[in-house]
Copies of this chain bind each other. A is one copy, B any other.
Amino acid sequence: MSDLDPEEFRRLGYAVVDWVAAYRAGLGGQPVRPPVEPGSVRDRMPALPESPQPLPALLGELDRTVVPAVTHWQHPGFFGYFPANASLHSVLGDLLSGGLGVQGMLWSTSPAATEVEQSLLDGLAGALGLDPAFTWAGGGGGTIADSASSAALVALLAALHRGSGGAWRETGVDGTERVYVTAETHSSLAKAVRVAGLGARALRIVPPAPGTLAMSADALADMLAADVAAGLRPVLVCPTVGTTGTGAVDPVRAVAVAAAPHGVWVHVDAAWAGVAGLCPEHRGLLDGVEFADSFCTDAHKWLMTAFDASLLWVRDAAALPAALSITPEYLRDSATDSGAVVDYRDWQVPLGRRFRALKLWAVVHGFGLEGLRAHLRAHVALAAELESRVVAEPGFVLAAPRSLSLVCLRLAAGDGPTRALLERVNASGTALLTHTVVDGRYVIRVAIGSVATQREHVDALWDALRTGRPDGP
């Protein structure tokens, strides 16, 4: 009945490491997304065993049942959604976290879990060129949320609390609150608005500046003024740096200027693109973030860190605890009462939290900032090359300006052929692509950014695209 003893753990741990090594080494030979029928995995799952079973039997089940039915997100041919990298550095960092098995809900429940996270987020704020106001020394601070969705939700809650003059905790929302996004903003903002009890009617869709997919700051200013005049209360605006659809970049500085007169919280969602700020040549993307109230970018997308690791910085370190703290007797302790420490449970919805900072630390330690920049630059260069090919190839259309490592394309022949092309490439197993819709047209997104993706994989993708189109050579 007891847990593995250290010697068993060592032996079985080596076996699992070997299994992972073999899985990763063999990825290139697997179809990125194998064909799977709904229910087929459930049909093959064994009943829960009454007696303990040996680990190798579990590994066998994985080989037989699981591996043939997962989408291989770590595959070098993964160009869908945005790649969610689980670099092997980060996998080892996460194993250290599992080994320690600590709970970082309060500072006192594991001081290092809190302080390593604070330190890393301060360091990354510097590396990204964020305003020092977002660091702990500057009166703000960073945290690791599970996802950009959750980061947006807590930013909204802090905004609601601040916008209510502190009444929100007691009386809730009143139906006059309004939140400003664009049609390209990630759906997590609409979800946050819903979760927060505002309903879809609270969501204002700011139109794009003419000829772009980016928020019009002028239109925002007009909408804010009109809503205030109508007795409504603007609480939050979310400019996006790198939308999911096409990588469009809202003008953060101008948005912040429009928001300021009304005291509206500015939350910058840079889930995918924000990490590019590590490279000085891309730091212009973050222009104006110094005027935002909160800024989010995902380490678990392009920063090589296994999900979940969304980085959230706020300008006012008191804002999230003011909105979210609740201290029952069983969570009271002298460190918290002293006010000298940060309790990260007050920065999130869940109470418990893993030591997520270790996987992030392992990534920065193992790649170094130079290595991370090299990755970002390599992906951007590959995307630029693909963009050139698309532009030069008859029958292909660049559907939106390239944004960093995201290329959006379609066939001149129309939606049907474009969709057929995507489906043909995906069915081939050599690459995985996903789509969006731009100006009413079906568009293929090529998101380059998997840690394993090299030139040869983008070349192979281009060949598949060129030869796969209905009228292909």
Decide if B169 touches A194 in the complex (CB within 8 Å): yes
A95 proximity list for chain B (CB < 8 A): 13, 16-17, 20, 91, 94-95, 98
Chain A interface SS verdict (over half):
helix
Q: Is the pair B52, A367 in contact by a Cβ cutoff of 8 Å? A: yes
- B199 adjacent to A3 (CB under 8 Å): no
Complex: A39 Cα to B112 Cα, angstroms = 9
Rounded to whole angstroms, the CA-CA distance of A364 and B66 in the bound complex is 17
In the assembled complex, the CB of A359 is this many whole angstroms from the nearest CB of chain B, namely 8
Q: How far is the CA of A251 from the CA of B85 in the complex (A)?
A: 46
Looking at the complex, which one of B84, B119, B191, B338 makes contact with A326 (CB distance below 8 Å)?
B191
Residues of chain B lying within 8 A (CB to CB) of residue A160:
197
Among A348-367, those with CB < 8 Å from B are 349-355, 361-362, 364-367
Compute how far the CA of A10 lies from the CA of B48 in the bound complex, rounded to whole angstroms: 31
Q: How far is the CA of A362 from the CA of B368 in the complex (A)?
A: 33
Q: How far is the CA of A202 from the CA of B169 in the complex (A)?
A: 11
Whether a CB of chain B sits under 8 angstroms from the CB of A412 is no
Given contacts A8-B88, A39-B340, A308-B350, 6 further A-B contacts (CB under 8 A): A9-B17, A33-B108, A42-B115, A42-B136, A73-B101, A146-B352
CB distance from A9 to the nearest CB of B (A): 5
* Interface pair A49/B94, CB less than 8 Å apart: no
List which A40-59 residues lie within 8 A (CB) of chain B: 40-42, 45, 47-53, 55, 57-58
**CB-contact partner of A20 in B52, B99, B354, under 8 A:** B99
Q: In whole angstroms, what is the CA distance A102 to B67 when docked?
A: 11
Which stretch in A172-180, A219-227, A461-469 binds the other chain?
A: A172-180
In the complex, whether A381 has a CB less than 8 A from a CB of chain B is: no
Q: A147-B352, A300-B352, A329-B245 are in contact. Are A73 and B103 (CB under 8 A)?
A: yes
